[in-house]
Structure 1
Amino acid sequence: MGKVVLVTGVARQLGGRFVRRIQREPDVDRVIGVDAVPPEHHLGGADFIRADIRHPTIARVLAEHGVDTVVHMDVNGTPLGKRGSRRGSRATVKETNVIGTMQLLGACQKTPTIKRLVVRSSTNVYGSAPRDPAVFTENTPPKSLPSGGFAKDAVEVEGYVRGFARRRPDVAVCVLRFANVLGPRADSPLAEYFSLPVLPTVLGFDPRLQFVHEDDAIEVLRIATGEPARGTLNSGTFNIAGDGVLLLSQAARRLGRPTLPVLLPTVTLVGSVLRSVGALDFSPEQIRLLTHGRVVETTQMRETLGFSPRYSSAEAFADFARSRGTGLLPPEILARTVDRIAALVPAGSGQN
């Protein structure tokens, strides 16, 4: 008998894609997809069970089907689903992230067949602050713990996962801290921001950003779920990001979208308005990211986990940009205009 893999959060695009991919692995006998709502996309030959991980019934699902591998992907930063359909309020999403993770880990602890746990986390756990180090490693503590939003959820989720690992040392636990996931099918808050006709930015700041292509995200999840290759270890905590960084100004140029630099309080107000009308989940943590940026070290991803991304950060963004079409201005004209303006600004003024 091969593995029985249970995947949470399969109603979202990334979860659905991973389910379709993992069932092709030769050592996987059965895949079970779980979510509180039915997926709009197909799951291949996987079984779908409609279950809310916030409820104790998830323990019965694990036990009845003899699950030995759990891939927890139902940790998300936005209540907005594909094409803007709401999956619930911010409070509901927080409950799924935190309470749902607690219930799932409690169920895993009681299920003796569980041998491997993979958790989708985020580099949001490091926060974004003006005095952050240039590069975060997996062991670098944030300068200030996130005070709310998805970043705080991710910190709490990882805390519960560490507690589970202590209680079940026989289970291989792998936490993947993803940078911003982009690609043609991306439906994240940052993808929605980059789809705006004009990008509001914080005056005086040009943050460094990292991206992970959605294809690379699927591949690293596959590696973390499988048996470790010779010389590698697929347990522990790993930063996941493509090589290199992209400045926000460079991203805007490659999209052909003009930016609107405004003072930070104005950007915060714009974000509040967009969230209130349901047009865009422009959260305070995303505003901090677009102010101060964030860069993580990925040596452990390569040397310990044994994964090398196919796409760099710039290539992942380029593939995303192609899927969104040309913006208001041709990229080459916008690039020349921005370069002329930059030449008039003293070097280093307000840069992060």
Structure 2
Amino acid sequence: MGKVVLVTGVARRLGDRFAAELSRSPGVDRVIGVDSREPAAEPSYAFRRLDLRRPTVARVIAEHEVDTVVHLDVSAIGPGSRATVKERNVIGTMQLLGACQKAPGLRRLVVKSTTGVYGSAPRDPAVFGERMQPKNLPRGGFAKDATEAEGYVRGFARRRPDCAVTVLRFANILGPAGDTPLAEYFALPVLPTVLGHDPRLQFVHEDDVIEVLRLAAGPEPRPGTFNVAGEGVLLLSQCARRLGRPTVPLLAPALGLVAALARQTRIADVSPEQLQLLTHGRVVDTTHLRETFGYQPRFATAEAFAEFAAAQRSGLLPPERLAAVTDRLGRLLGAERTPTLPRS
């Protein structure tokens, strides 16, 4: 009998796509996708609508004799308030791990995490390895959720040494259909930045995310924690130029006010942790991934960003509309000069 895989978080595009591709993989007998919402399109795999915060997931695992769980339902954004998202991320993970604990036939657990667990601070190392600890633990937001979830996963791994546990810390995921908070930021017509800072950023293409998840859930167990990112880095200023977006350098307090306004008006979900990233940046080492998985992400950081940029429908705004946007932003911030278009 082939593998039976349960995939959480299939209402989001990435989870739905992964579950669909995994269901076509040789050696996989069945894929059961679960989420509190239904996928946008009719799924090609078995779907069960359930909330991970409820104990019903244990019945699904037992009923289908699941031997592999891929937990993708730890996300920065989602329906409901920030408190609701945190509940899904942390309480949902706790309930899922409790169900896995009771499943004697479970042999593999794969968990999607984020390089955000390293934080972004002025005295950070140039490159983070998996064994390094952040200078300052994340104090809130998605990074704190992921840090707590990883702690529960480590506890599960100690209690179930017979189950291979893989934690994948992904850099910021981008692609033609980017639907992350950072993608929302880059979709703004004008990019507010922190005066005096030009952070280094890393991205991973959604195609590489799917492939790494597939390998982690495949026949060969690869336990451990792995950074996943495209090769190389981009400066924030380079990202702006490649998008054709003007930038508005602001003092950090002013940028915080702009971010709060963007969240209130639902223009973009620019969280405090994202502001830290846009100030100090973050770069991780992926040697452990390449040596253990034997896989080099096909898209470098610059290539992943290029795919995202090419899919942006608006591109550079018409001059008259751009002038109106920057004038309004300048009046809002009390700026003394209008920003100029970035040099290519």
User: Shared fold (TM-score greater than 0.5)?
Assistant: yes
From 309, 327, 336, the equivalent of 2:297 is 309
State how far apart, in whole Å, the 1-side matches of 2:42 and 2:69 are. Answer: 20
Query: 2:27 — aligned with what?
Result: 27
Instruction: Show the 5 A alignment for 1:254-265.
Output: 254-265=242-253
1:328 aligns with 2:317: yes
Partner AA of 2:56 in structure 1 = T
1:59 aligns with 2:58: yes
1:275-290, aligned counterparts within 5 Å?
Answer: 275-290=263-278
**Hey, what's the Cα distance between the residues in 2 that align with 1:186 and 1:21?**
19
In structure 1, give the amino acid aligned to 2:71: H
Is the 1:257–1:329 contact (alpha carbons within 8 Å) kept by the matching residues of 2? Answer: no
Letter in 2 for 1:186: G
Q: Which residue of 1 aligns with 2:256?
A: 268
Gaps of 5+ in 2: 320-339
Matched, 1:77 2:76: yes
Q: Where do 1:53-132 residues align within 5 Å?
A: 53-79=52-78, 87-132=79-124
Q: Distance in 2 between matches of 1:170 and 1:183?
A: 36
Matches of 2:161 and 2:265 in 1, distance apart? 46
Which one of 155, 160, 164 corresponds to residue 163 of structure 1? 155
- For the residues of structure 2 that align with 1:315 and 1:248, how far apart are their CA atoms? 15
Residue 37 of structure 1 is matched in structure 2 by 37
* 2:10 partner amino acid: V
Offset at residue 234 of structure 1 (A): 1.4
What is aligned with 1:15? 15
Query: Does 1:214 find its partner at 2:202?
Result: no
Q: State the secondary structure of the residue aligned to 2:266.
A: coil
| Alpha carbons 2:58, 2:96 under 8 Å: kept | yes
Q: 1:245 aligns with which of 229, 233, 255?
A: 233
Q: Distance in 1 between matches of 2:93 and 2:294?
A: 27
Q: Unaligned stretches of 5+ in structure 1?
A: 80-86, 331-335, 341-352
Corresponding pairs, count: 323
User: Residue type matched to 1:93 in 2?
Assistant: V
- Structure 1 segment 124-203 matched on structure 2, within 5 A: 124-203=116-195
Contact 1:11 1:41 in 2 (8 A): no
Contact 2:205 2:230 in 1 (8 A): yes
For normalisation by structure 1, the TM-score amounts to 0.90
Higher deviation after alignment, 35-44 or 21-30? 35-44
C-alpha contact (below 8 Å) 1:116/1:173 kept by paired residues: yes
Indicate conservation of the 8 Å contact 2:247/2:342, yes or no.
no
Following TM superposition, by how much is the alpha carbon of 1:279 offset from its aligned partner in structure 2, in angstroms? Answer: 2.1
Q: Which deviates further from its counterpart, 236-245 or 273-282?
A: 273-282
TM, length-normalised to structure 2: 0.92
Amino acid at match of 1:74: D
Aligned CA-pair RMSD: 1.4
Aligned to 1:300: 288
